[in-house]
Amino acid sequence: MAEAATVEELVAAARDARVRARATYSNFPVGAAVRCADGRIFQGCNIENASLGLTMCAERVALFSAVAAGCHHITAIAIAGPGSDPLSPCGACRQVMLELAPDADVILAGDEEHRVYTVADLLPDAFGVADLGDSAE
């Protein structure tokens, strides 16, 4: 489980990223922040597109940014949406977390509280690389 200081720092970074969201169509800004094992933090925000299928969630922006910068071990991710209640990630983001950050703590934050989960908590009985068998080699 992430240390309290790590949790607070990541929640603050996710809330900071949220203000840069391009939520032109939904008016639902989301921010995310991931921590790499080496201590680096990468932020992401949702970026919407008129062709809604091309919209990218904050979680995936942050995760992809970390991987693109050479982070190979993500230890935690915080997600902050609007409102007082913690925001839970969509299924696509959960699947990407399983692949890129399977052992990470996942901190779901609202304006008033946060909750900490594991990726396995959020995606039980997941389909992952091990399920691909020989085709994954």
Those residues with Cβ within 8 angstroms of residue 50's Cβ, 6 or more apart along the chain or in another chain: 25
Q: Which of 3, 48, 59, 113 is catalytic?
A: 59
Residue 46 in contact with residue 55, Cβ under 8 Å? yes
Q: How far apart are CA 36 and CA 107, in angstroms?
A: 14
pLDDT in tens, 10-40: 999 999 999 999 999 999 999 999 999 999 9
- For the chain, the three-class secondary structure string (H helix, E strand, C coil) is CCCHHHHHHHHHHHHHHHCCCECCCCCCCCEEEEEECCCCEEEEECECCCCHHHCECHHHHHHHHHHHCCCCCEEEEEEECCCCCCCCCCHHHHHHHHHHCCCCEEEEECCCCEEEEEHHHHCCCCCCHHHHHHHHC
Helices 58-68 & 91-100 angle (0-180, nearest 10) = 20
* Active-site residue, 48 included: no
Domain residue spans in the chain? 4-136
Class of 4-136 per CATH? alpha beta
Question: Residue 137: pLDDT above 60?
Answer: no
How does pLDDT run across 56-112, given as a tens digit for each residue?
999 999 999 999 999 999 999 999 999 999 999 999 999 999 999 999 999 999 998
> The pTM is what?
0.92
